[in-house]
Amino acid sequence: MHKTYRVQYEWDIVHIRSEAREIARMMGFDEVDQARIVQAISELGRNVIHHAEEGEITLSEAEENGQRGIRIRVRDTGPGMPNLQDWKQGTGQSVGETGGLKSVDMLMDEMRQIPVDSGTCVEAIKWLKHADVENESTVRPQRQS
């Protein structure tokens, strides 16, 4: 699974959130982790809209050391961010500028900056919990309204 979405407007984020929730559900994430993934996408998408003209969000399956999860990679065309660690810790920036990244760091299991020539690229991963993996084959379809 590998899907890339363009981010330029708030409604782009709404669409990506909906698709991400369904992907996370199909992968076997519980409802709480689905909500965490969707919230992280909201925060990262808002950063693109507020700090850059446009960008993209890519959702893909992550696999490492026998673990499975969902990878969110966000790339924008903005002025760039010198050091993600400083932003995550809130050093040198106002609270409003760092709140979203701090939230993503708390919501996801991993978050790192990917070096790029221009703009900013951030990757966040949420791993399936062992109980989620065991229950993956019993994921129920969503209720129809």
Residue 143 lies in a domain: no
For residue range 32-91, list pLDDT tens digits in order. Answer: 999 999 999 999 999 899 888 899 999 999 999 999 999 999 999 877 766 666 665 655
Domain at 128, CATH number: 3.30.565.10
**R_g over Cα of the chain:** 15
Establish if 144 belongs to a structural domain. Answer: no
pLDDT of residue 137: 47
Query: Which two three-digit tokens encode residue 25?
Result: 């559900």
Domain extent at residue 74:
2-136
The pLDDT tens digits of the residues spanning 16-33 come to 999 999 999 999 999 999
Instruction: Decide if 103 is inside a domain.
Output: yes
DSSP per-residue string spanning the chain: -EEEEEESSHHHHHHHHHHHHHHHHHHT--HHHHHHHHHHHHHHHHHHHHHSS-EEEEEEEEEETTEEEEEEEEEE-SS--S-HHHHHHTTTS-HHHHHHHHHHHHHSSEEEEPP-SSSEEEEEEEEPPHHHHHHGGGPPPPPP-
Give residue 87's pLDDT: 60
Look at 80 and 143; give whichever has higher pLDDT. Answer: 80
Largest CA distance in the chain: 48
State the total domains in the chain. Answer: 1
Tokens describing residue 123: 């990757």
Say if residues 114 and 73 touch (Cβ distance below 8 Å): yes
In a domain, 145, yes or no: no
